Structure 1
């Protein structure tokens, strides 16, 4: 997983050198999703969110491999998720890259309610999104949590009519990411 994020980090975040600020990173963030449809509730999660936040300009980049999601109600459901709906061989990653809108000091301990604005890509479709998040900075560590909704239509994810009562049109997503300073 870390091999997939390293090229992204080097493209987005030039070496810090003597610049002010620090780079927080993770390769074990958690993301959960829930599809709460009339006939079935589907839950899955991944503990493989990779990402970085650069304190000097408040930029960020996060990525998770679609195939890293586990859970579901059956192995067949997971197979359909990867092969038919998210098409993970064709679109292997979900990404969110952008900047924190608020002018906060990520070097100062505290709790911050912020908005991350950037390009959110799922299933080959990129959309500009603003996602409210809570950030806690404590003892050189960064904790990020957020809850938001992803609409399948927004990302051209088609659900066959035969199962449309089993898969929700809007997916509830929650993230919990713990980051440390890159040394």
Structure 2
């Protein structure tokens, strides 16, 4: 009986060591969406092929997505978004790299939900800007989900909005992202 207990303890320690020794965990099917509320028309798009990575040893996060991965209800909106506003041929990706501020105080090994502030740098349309946001984490035995939402100013990323469509596109858009990491 004592041998079974010791064997179980050794196996548990090996599993914990293997989890903590692994590199970043990835989600290749994360989602990012944005919503623009404007006087004449609301605009919404979603990208379901966002790469997210989190390193549970260092407390770092990274996100990368292709701009052409955003899809709209109206194909003309999608075309204008890629050609006229985000210039996805010239600037094909958007990225974020950040650090969990209070990482040392968090316990990612136990199931439960908690929030953490993340600070880093976002790059859109070739422009890099600092970004701090709150990420909501939920941990189960098999998964770690991470969700966030924040606002971005279109003008800060040198995205020009012609005066003709000024009332169709908001100056500030709401961005949401969701990742499901397998453990």
Identify the match of residue 156 of structure 1 among 151, 158, 168.
Answer: 158
* CA deviation vs aligned residue, 1:108-152 (integer Å, no higher than 9, x gap): 222111111111111100111101110111113110111110100
SS at match of 1:49: strand
Output the TM-score relative to the length of structure 1: 0.84
Whether the 8 Å CA contact 1:21–1:107 is kept in 2: the answer is no
d(CA) in 2 for partners of 1:132 and 1:69? Answer: 23
Unaligned stretches of 5+ residues in structure 2: 1-16
Distance 1:179 1:90 in 2: 31
Task: Show structure 1 runs of 5+ residues with no match.
Answer: 1-16
Match of residue 56 from structure 1: 57
Q: Which residue of 1 aligns with 2:141?
A: 139
Structure with the higher fraction of residues in helix conformation: 2
Counterpart residue number, 2:109: 107
Report the CA distance between 1:18 and its aligned residue: 7.2
Q: How does 1:17-28 map to 2 (within 5 A)?
A: 20-22=20-22, 23-28=24-29
Secondary structure (helix, strand or coil) at the match of 2:20 reads: coil
> TM-score, normalization: structure 2?
0.84
- Size of the aligned set, in residue pairs, is 164
Query: In structure 2, what is the Cα distance between the partners aligned to 1:51 and 1:176?
Result: 9
Note if contact 2:32-2:47 (Cα within 8 Å) is conserved in structure 1.
yes
| Residues 155-175 of structure 1 deviation map (CA, whole Å, 9 limit, x = unaligned) | 011000000000000011111
Output the aligned Cα RMSD.
1.7
In structure 2, the CA distance between the partners of 1:34 and 1:19, relative to structure 1 (3 Å rule), is closer
